[in-house]
Structure 1
Amino acid sequence: MSYLPYEEPGIVTILSLTSFLILLNIVRYLLDRLVYCGIIGEILIGVVWGLPIGGYAWLSKSAQETIQMLGFLGLIAIVFEGGLNTDFAMLRKAAFLSVSVATVGLLLPIALSFVLLVLPFPTSSGPTLFPTPLAAFSSGASLCSTSLGTTFAILTSSNLQDTPVGALLIGAAMLDDVVGLVMVNIITMLGSGRFAAWPISRPIVASFGMLLMTLLLTPIVLKPIWVVIANYLHPVESERNTNSFRTRISGMVLALPHLRFLLSLLVLISFVSIASFIDASELLAAFLAGGVFRVIYCSSITILHPSTSVEETPSMMYAVYFQPTIQTVLAPFFFASIGFSIPISEMFTGQIVWKGLLYTILMALAKGSVSVVIYFDYFRVIWCRERKKLQTTSVQQQTYQETNTRSRTGPPHAAAILVGLAMIARGEIGFLIASLSQSSNTLTLKSDEGLNIESNKEDLFLVIVWAITLCTIIGPLGVGIMIKRLGEHAKESLTINWL
């Protein structure tokens, strides 16, 4: 059959999808108002609707797969919004700190995961088994990357995207996303027994190459070309009443409905397609697309809405065309699809629970330790200031001391804690690497005699899932509670003055 016959969905399907969508929005709204972490409710709704409850699945496998694909569109749109709203000047200032935070957050989870080597996995018949070093590395790889979608959702719900802390988190999460692609390739090769340098390094080279080319071409090629096009489509006053070719073309283009929306989609689709073709990070591409569209949009604002005298920002365009669908359908679908990935019915056995909780604590501490980087950078700046002050003359010293007194603040406790909490969330990238580790047979256990035995009961995989799930809940919940306690003074309390 070369076509899909049209069939009416049954009432059970209609009610399941309707209740699913309504509850996603209700639970998110309530939790956002209470603790600024509505995504936790969406994940939990995904757990309930994605699993057989009482022997019956509320959503079929095909429906879950469709929701998962639509949810990924929501993730791309969330990251695109981040590119539209991010202060790139502030992001550039926070680049070194972002790299430091991302590096610490990458290495510590992998290092602490080798504690798994001493965790016993008893069997009903046979010797007690222990994870292999390869399994420990695969476990750490599953928990070394921070969820980019969750990070943007946290920053958006708490209105911190345009702050130094927000820029720092965005930069670190972007690097984590690229590292996640590298880990996917490493796990695949370790499972197959083949190892080659280029397939591993290709995502890094492609992603950073795309970043550098975008930074280079946008101001010297894309922006000037777009300004020329915009000027051509806006004839001078003397030509507007004539029937010239330029006037006709201008009228045809400006008559297109929703021009700014179509242009934003063109930029977004182009960047994501290029990234997919060259094996770069598609989410990094979506972020860059947001930044590029912001530049060309602001450079020719009149062509995109010539009939209004009010200056419209890219964020306003996003709010009109993207936000209603993204906020109520696609973004909830994304976070619910994370819940689909949690095999909760298999996780509650005694041996799995305590190991999962222990591993969760280790992984939360590993990512939360990035707070130390904030303190280290703060005291480095203070030390440099004190050293500079000692090198000045007495008159200069007095002037410098007055300036330094005005600008110097206490240690950034709130900012450090928030960065640590926000980096804890793993989300979609963690489940992806964990599932790949399981299918690649890298999560193996060994006996005391050193014989490798495949983990048929998926015990180690379930321990990893425990850590990913709880970290994805702990991070946003901790940030939400902290923002709630800081109240109206959240932005002032989270300022990083030395950036």
Structure 2
Amino acid sequence: MPYLSYEEPGIVVILSLTSFLLLLNVVRYILDRLLYCGIIGQILIGIIWGLPVGGTSWLTEGNQETIQAFGYLGLICLVFEGGISTDLAQLRKSVYISISVATIGLLMPIALSFILIALPFSSSSGTAYPTALAAFSAGASLCSTSLGTTFAILSSAGMQQTRVGVILVGAAMMDDVVGLVMVNIVTTLGSGDMSAWPIARPIVASFGLFLVTLAIVPYLLKPIWIWLVQCTQSEVQTSSLTEKKSNLREILIKPVRRVPHLKFILSILVLIVFVTIAAFIDASVLFAAFIAGGLINYLWNVGDVNSAAAPGDSTAMGMYEDYFKAVMDYILVPFFFASIGFSIPITDMFEGSIVWKGIVYAIIMIIAKGLVSTVIYAEYFFRIWRGPRKSTTQRSTPQEQESSNEKIPHMEALLVGFAMIARGEIGFLIASLSQSSGTLSLRSSDGSSSESSGEAIFLVIVWAVVLCTIFGPVSVGILVRRLKKKGASFS
């Protein structure tokens, strides 16, 4: 049959989808009001409505796959919003701190995951222990911060433009790129092919896309954007146009001038082009979406003579709120976090030995990611140490005197540490690939034999991913609520 015949959906399907969509938004609203962690409620709704709880699936597998696809579209647009709303000047100033945060956040989970080697697991041949390869695969699953969760936390807490928010954005973007590398490493280790290029390709392609964009912006993208924007404003600028203007240019400008919502259409085209290029060159699609958002953020007011007259109506963020915000807040982003819930094998996770190992491993992974807060303290003490050295050679400025008197940034460090704890979509992806590729292997206590039945290790990893994804947003929500009660501002 070369077409899909139209059939009226049954009342069960209608009620399931309606209750699912309604509860996603109601639970998010309640938890955001209480602790700024509505995404946790959406993940729990995804678990309940997914496959299967109590032997009954409230959503069919086809519905879940559709919701997952729309959810990933929501994730792309959420990262696109992050690029639009990020203070690019602040990001440039904080890039070294973001790199340090990302580096510690990537290395510590992998290093501490080798503790798993000491945990006993039951196998067909008796008691067995995870191999070093299994421990590395577990660390790879827990080394990347959930980009979607990070942006959702920043958005719900109103931290996008703060220094903490900018540091988190930079670190989470680097985590996402390295997460893709980890996906390739795990797949390569499972297949036995140790060639370097498949492993290095995602990071080379991602940063290559970034560098090429930086190179062509002033010479190609910026002039094209200015010309298109000025075409739409040619009626306003009629008095300044000379009578010698060619008819050919008028013919070219008129169709462009008639296009409604031109800036929105251009923004969508930029996003589509960058995401498509990233997919074809094996770069990070989410990193490409962030680059597209940052590019729109930079170009938005270039060549716009009306931007000074109506600054509130002509910002890139204003465009996002007009065209994206409603469908993102109430449909696409809830679908994304619910799809994380779909990925949790909840019915297999509550065996006693799995539960305690999962909780212990989750605590270790919380500590591992929480160590990124030491970067904030190190940066603070470095500034304090550098201040007196400058003052011995030259008179200190008021800004330097103020920085020398500032308090130790405990709250800023806690916010960065807790916000980086959440894992999510990348963690589930790498864990699933590790299981399917056979890297989650066990060895006997004497080391004489090994087997690739990694179901138990996989469930321990899932426990850690789930608990970290819950703990991070809840902790940030408690801190933000406490700050707002005190009337303090974010750093």
Q: Smaller-chain TM-score range?
A: over 0.9
Q: Does 1:100 align with 2:63?
A: no
1:472 paired with 2:458, answer no
2:428 is matched with: 431
Q: CA deviation at 1:110?
A: 0.4
Partner of 2:238: 237
Distance 1:201 1:219, change over 3 A: same
- Equivalent residue letter for 1:56: T
Matches of 1:138 and 1:147 in 2, distance apart? 17
Conserved 8 A contact 1:129-1:445: yes
Partner of 1:277 in structure 2?
A: 280
Amino acid of the structure 1 residue aligned with 2:268: L
1:322-401 aligned at under 5 Å gives the runs: 322-389=324-391, 391-392=392-393, 396=394, 399-400=395-396
Instruction: Supply the distance in 1 between the matched residues of 2:311 and 2:121 (Cα, whole angstroms).
Output: 69
User: C-alpha distance in 2, partners of 1:402/1:332?
Assistant: 47
Contact residue 125 and residue 444 of structure 2 kept, 8 A: no
For 2:139, the equivalent position in structure 1 comes to 140
CA spacing shift, 1:452–1:135, aligned 2, 3 Å = farther
Q: What residue number does 2:167 align with?
A: 168
Aligned partners of 2:314 and 2:398: how far apart in 1?
41
Do the aligned partners of residues 445 and 8 (structure 1) sit closer, same or farther apart at CA in structure 2, a change above 3 Å counting?
same
Describe how 1:83-122 pairs up with structure 2 within 5 A: 83-122=83-122
Using the TM superposition, give the Cα deviation of residue 294 of structure 1 relative to its aligned residue in structure 2, in angstroms: 1.9
Cα distance in 2, alignment partners of residues 468 and 462 from structure 1: 10
Summarize the Cα distance change of 1:45–1:93 in structure 2 as closer, same or farther, 3 Å threshold. same
Classify 1:482/1:310 alpha carbon distance in 2 versus 1 (closer, same or farther; 3 Å): closer
Residues 227/474 of structure 1: CA separation in 2 closer, same or farther (3 Å cut)? same
* Mapped partners of 1:13, 1:457: distance in 2: 36
Distance of 2:301 and 2:164 partners within structure 1 = 25
Deviation track 1:178-203 (CA, whole Å, cap 9, x = no partner) reads 00000000000100011011111111
Alpha-carbon distance between aligned partners in 2 of 1:465 and 1:148, rounded to the nearest angstrom: 18
1:171-190 matches, within 5 Å, as 171-190=170-189
Partners of 1:163 and 1:491 within 8 A in 2: no
Q: Which runs of 5+ in 2 are unaligned?
A: none
Matched, 1:418 2:418: no
Q: Which one-letter code corresponds to 2:285 in the other structure?
A: E
By how many angstroms is 1:232 displaced? 4.6
Give the drift of 1:245: 4.7
1:486 to 472, 483, 487: 483
Q: Does 1:197 align with 2:200?
A: no
Cα displacement string for residues 261-294 of structure 1 (whole angstroms, at most 9, x for unaligned residues): 2111101000000111111110010001011112
Match of 1:26 in 2: 26
- Asked whether the 8 Å contact 1:301–1:311 carries over to 2, the reply is no
CA distance in structure 2 between the aligned counterparts of 1:431 and 1:86, rounded to whole angstroms: 27
Cα RMSD (Å) of the superposition?
A: 2.2
Which digits, 9 at most, give the CA deviation of each residue in 1:427-452, with x for residues without a partner?
A: 00000000000000000111123244
Shift of 1:310: 6.0
CA contact (8 A) 2:45 2:341 kept: yes
Aligned to 1:456: 453
What does 1:292-303 align with in structure 2 at a 5 Å threshold? 292-301=295-304
* Residue aligned with 1:291, SS: helix
- 1: CA distance between counterparts of 2:278 and 2:268? 15
Per-residue deviation, 1:481: 0.6
TM-score with structure 1 setting the length: 0.93
- CA offset digits 1:61-110 (Å, max 9, x no partner): 11111110110000000000011110111001110010001000111000
Q: In the TM superposition, what whole-angstrom CA distance separates every residue of 1:104-126 from its partner, at most 9, and x where no partner exists?
A: 01110000000000100134x63
Residue matched to 2:6 = 6
Can you list the C-alpha shifts for 1:386-415, whole angstroms capped at 9, x where unaligned? 2222x32xxx5xx42865433330111000
Could you tell me the TM-score, scaled by structure 2's length?
0.94
Alpha-carbon contact 1:85-1:162 (below 8 Å) kept:
yes
Distance 1:490 1:83 in 2: 28
Correspondences of 1:56-71 after superposition (within 5 Å) = 56-71=56-71
Once residues 13 and 403 of structure 2 are traced to their aligned partners in structure 1, the CA distance between those partners, rounded to angstroms, is 60
> What are the superposed Cα offsets for residues 364-394 of structure 1, whole Å, 9 maximum, x if unpaired?
00000111111111111111112222x32xx
- 8 Å CA contact 1:160, 1:491 repeated in 2: no
Match of 2:48?
Answer: 48
Match of 1:155 in 2: 154
- Partner SS state of residue 476, structure 1: helix
Distance 1:117 1:309, change over 3 A: closer
Hey, which bits of structure 1, 4+ residues long, moved more than 4 A? 238-245, 305-311, 488-491
Q: Whole-Å Cα distance in 2 between the matches of residues 53 and 203 of structure 1?
A: 37
Cα separation, partners in 2 of 1:461 and 1:89, compared to 1, 3 Å:
same
SS in 2 for 1:298: coil
> Retained in 2: the 8 A contact 1:240–1:247?
no
Distance 1:60 1:451, change over 3 A: farther
- Separation in 2, partners of 1:293, 1:186: 33
Gaps of 5+ in 1: none
Distance 2:478 2:242 in 1: 58
Aligned partner of 1:320 among 315, 319, 322: 322
* Counterpart residue type for residue 252 of structure 1: P
Structure 1 residue 252, shift from structure 2 partner: 2.9
| Alignment length (residue pairs) | 486
2:371 corresponds to which letter in structure 1? Answer: S
Residue type of the partner of 2:42?
A: E
Work out whether residues 27 and 38 of structure 2, in 8 Å CA contact, stay in contact via their aligned partners in 1: yes
Q: Is the CA contact 1:367–1:420 (under 8 Å) kept in the aligned structure 2?
A: yes
Q: What do the CA deviations read for 1:342-385 (whole angstroms, capped 9, x no partner)? A: 00111001100000000000000000011111111111111111
Deviation at 1:244, TM superposition (A): 4.4
- Superimposed CA distance per residue, residues 437-482 of structure 1 (whole angstroms, 9 cap, x where no aligned partner): 0000000111123244435371000000000000000000100110
Instruction: Give the 3 Å change call, closer, same or farther, for CA 224–338 of structure 1 in structure 2.
Output: same
Q: Please name the residue that 1:259 is paired with.
A: 262
1:42-65 CA-to-partner distances (Å, cap 9, x unmatched) read: 000000000323322001111111
Query: 2:30 & 2:480 partners in 1: Cα distance?
Result: 16
Q: Does 1:223 align with 2:222?
A: yes
- Give the residue type in structure 1 aligned to 2:48: V
Q: Is the 8 A contact 1:232 1:246 kept in 2?
A: no
Distance 2:436 2:250 in 1: 61
Cα deviation for residue 7 of structure 1 reads 1.7
